[in-house]
Amino acid sequence: MDYNDVGVVILAAGKGTRMKSDIAKVLHKVANKSMVVHVIGCAKKIAPDNVIVVVGHQAQTVKDEVDKYFKVFFAVQEQLLGTGDAVKTAIPWLKADIKDVLVLCGDVPLIQESTLRNLLDGHKESQAKVSVLATDVDNPKGYGRIVLDEDKNMLCIKEEADANDNEKKIKKVNTGIYCFDKELLISVIDEIKPDNNQAEYYLTDVIEIAQKKNEKIAVITMDDPRQVIGVNTLEELGKAEHLIQLFAK
- Judged against a pLDDT cut of 90, whether residue 197 lies above it is answered with no
CA–CA dist 90, 76 (Å, integer): 8
In the chain, where the domains are located: 6-248
pLDDT per residue as tens digits for the range 81-108: 999 999 999 999 999 999 999 999 999 9
pLDDT per residue as tens digits for the range 115-158: 999 999 999 999 999 999 999 999 999 899 999 988 888 888 98
Contact between 201 and 194 under an 8 Å Cβ cutoff? The reply is yes
14 phi and psi angles, rounded to 5 deg: -70, 165
Classified by CATH at the fold level, domain 6-248 comes out as Spore Coat Polysaccharide Biosynthesis Protein SpsA; Chain A (3.90.550)
What is the model's pTM? 0.94
CA 102 remoteness from chain centre: 8
pLDDT of 50 reads 96
Q: Which long-range contacts (CB under 8 A, 24 or more apart) does 242-247 make?
A: 243/110, 244/30, 244/31, 244/38, 244/109, 244/110, 245/31, 247/110, 247/112
pLDDT of 151 reads 87
pLDDT per residue as tens digits for the range 20-38: 788 899 999 999 999 999 9
DSSP code at position 50: -
Question: Which of helix, strand or coil describes residue 248?
Answer: helix
pLDDT of 195 reads 82
Contact between 7 and 71 under an 8 Å Cβ cutoff? The reply is no
Identify whether 18 is a catalytic site residue.
Answer: yes
CA–CA dist 228, 226 (Å, integer): 5
Q: How confident is the model at residue 196 (pLDDT cuts 50, 70, 90)?
A: confident
How many CB atoms sit inside 10 A of residue 151's CB?
5
> Looking at residues 153-175, what average pLDDT do you find?
91
Is 247 or 9 the better-scoring residue by pLDDT?
9
- Judged against a pLDDT cut of 90, whether residue 110 lies above it is answered with yes
pLDDT of 247 reads 85
